[in-house]
Structure formats: C-alpha cells, structure tokens
Chains A and B, each alone.
Chain A
Amino acid sequence: MSALYRSLLRLYPRRHRSVFASEMLDVFRQAQADAANRSISWCMVFYMREIAGLLGGAARERLRNLPASGDCKLKFGGSMNQQPRCHFPRFAILMMTIIFVLVLEIIAKGEGLSHYLIRLSAVGGPPLAAGQERWNLGNSIQHWPSHYGLISGVAMGFLIAWAVGVAAWVFAYLLRRTGAQHFDQTQSWPVNH
C-alpha cells in the first residue's frame, strides 16, 4: 500500500512533493500501522479516505498552480510582455489529449450504433417477440447523410480545437525560450545621463 501511496504522491506538483512528500509518507505509515490493529472495515475506510484525500489534495494543488486569467499579458502589434509565471501547464495537454480520445471513442461508438440500426432496418431485424413492434427506421436511412455530417463536423471541430491548443502552447513555449518577453525592457536609443 505504501507503494501505491508513493505513486499517488506523484500527482502532486513537484514543488509540493519536494517539501511534503517524505513527511506525508512517514505520517501515512504511522497511521497505517495504527489502522492495521483495527478491524478490516476500519482499514478499508482508512485506505479509501487516504486515496480520496490524496486525489482531492493533488487536484487542489494543481488547480492552485494554474495562472489567473489576469496574469498573462500578451500584446500583439505593440510590445510583447509575457510574464514569467504565464505558462500553459503540461498537465493540461495530457488532459486535453485524454478528453479528445474519449470524445473520438464516443463518436465512433455512436457511428457504430447508427450503422447497426440502419442494417437492422434494412434486413428486417431479428425475430420479434410476441406483441413487440418493429421500429420503422426507413426515415433514418434517408437522414443518415446529415447525421453523419454532424458527427464528422463535431469530430473535426474537436480536432481543430485540440490542434490549435497544442500549437498555441508550442508557440508560447518557443517564445519564452527565445526570451522575447524581455523585448520591452530593451532600450535601443542612447540614454543621456
């Protein structure tokens, strides 16, 4: 269980881990030893509470580290002033990718279901039980191209949004690497003392 606890600690931001991780693990081991002397149900509740506490705590710490909307100043057409603390978190890229894959999966399932229903109505479908009515899906076949277009459109929209997000992050990252955020501090005219 300590190994699981240690691996869940990795969900915390690095700064929090460097300060508190060993201490948290130490306290967890003491509490675990205490819980081991009690009933099995007590132990189960203890482990559930610890896991929930770690997941919630890690989420709170991650959210806390996100920059506030007013912190990022990127001016186009004038001076460019990107604050050092303004960055797109890598964690968000991971979350965006996971959400994107999930959306694609749901769309694929939906398409599969549509195909199944169309085929079912075309071949007459499986034998019906007594008193059961067969669905009339004749109209669905006629409407299929518009449904298909809508699903493809949503998928394309997500794909474009994801690509734009990643491109923006890469752009901001490269700008930061070049030190462009310090351009407005550069003086290109002689200064009279």
Chain B
Amino acid sequence: MQATPAITEPVLFILLSLAQQPRHGYSILKDVEKMSDGRVRLSTGTLYGALRRLLEEEWIERHQEDNTSRGRQGYKLTSHGRRVLRQEVARMQQLTRLATLRFARREA
C-alpha cells in the first residue's frame, strides 16, 4: 500500500479550496490568499508543483469548465481526495482538542 504523502499547509489550502467547488489555477491562488487572510500567497511554480503531485496521487482530477469561452482547465477533488482531506481535518481537530486540554490542565 502506498504511503500517504505529508500534507503541507499550501497543499491543505489547495484541497480546501477545491472542496467547495471545482476551480482553475488563478481562482485557487486567489482563494488560498483569501482563506489565509493574505498569509499564504502561492507562486504559480509552487501551485503547479502541488497540482502535479495531487493529480498523480489521484486526490484531484481535471475538470473542463464549460461556462467559459476560453475553455480553461479546472481541477476538482476526487472522492479519494475528499476522504483524505476529511481524515486530515479530523486529525487536526483531534490535535487541537488535545492541545486545548493540555493548556487547560496547565493553567488550572
């Protein structure tokens, strides 16, 4: 069985961006910037390196946008990608709960 690669912050933001709806490259850039309040700004090199890896892992797939005259290439989450994202978010929630508990005990 192939090991799940580490999900870096930019990759997590890209997956979260695609979780809402299929998007093309520029739309992902803007959405990541908006979600992170301008803290994470991806360059096109970083974005397409991540998209290539996600396509290879089959976490995302290509999606042709029909409603634009330019026929731009979009991307959307696969069911496998959505499952991985859910697992990652659950892991982070568990981590946050644990951290909150530990802080509460220390302060009590």
Contact = CB atoms under 8 A, between A and B. Distances in A.
A122 to B, nearest CB: 55
Nearest to B55: A19
Nearest to A5: B44
A50 B25 contact: no
B45 interface: yes
A111 interface: no
Nearest to A8: B45
A16 B25 contact: no
A43 B42 CA distance: 14
B44 A16 contact: no
B84 interface: no
B45 A23 contact: no
Q: How large is the interface on B (under 10, 10 to 19, 20 to 34, 35 or more residues)?
A: 10 to 19
Given A16-B52, A20-B52, A23-B73, A30 B46 contact: no
B52 A53 contact: no
Contact of B25 (A27, A57, A60, A61): A27
Contact of A50 (B44, B49, B72, B73): B44
Nearest to A57: B45
A31 B52 contact: no
Nearest to B72: A26
Contacts of A50: 43-45
Given A30-B26, A31-B26, A49-B41, A24 B48 contact: yes
B45 to A, nearest CB: 3
A57 B46 contact: yes
B47 interface: yes
A27 B26 contact: yes
B29 interface: yes
Contacts of B45: 24, 50, 52-58
B104 to A, nearest CB: 40
Interface string B1-40: 0000000000000000000000011100100000000000
Interface of A: 16, 19-20, 23-24, 26-28, 30-31, 49-50, 52-58, 60-61
Q: Which 9 A-B pairs have the closest CB atoms?
A: A53-B43, A53-B45, A57-B45, A27-B25, A54-B45, A30-B26, A57-B49, A27-B26, A49-B43
Interface of B: 24-26, 29, 41-49, 51-52, 72-73
14 contacts: A16-B52, A20-B48, A23-B73, A24-B25, A24-B45, A24-B48, A26-B25, A27-B26, A27-B44, A27-B47, A49-B43, A55-B45, A56-B46, A58-B45
Given A16-B52, A50-B43, 14 more contacts: A20-B52, A26-B25, A27-B24, A27-B47, A50-B44, A50-B45, A52-B43, A53-B43, A53-B46, A54-B43, A54-B45, A56-B45, A57-B46, A57-B49
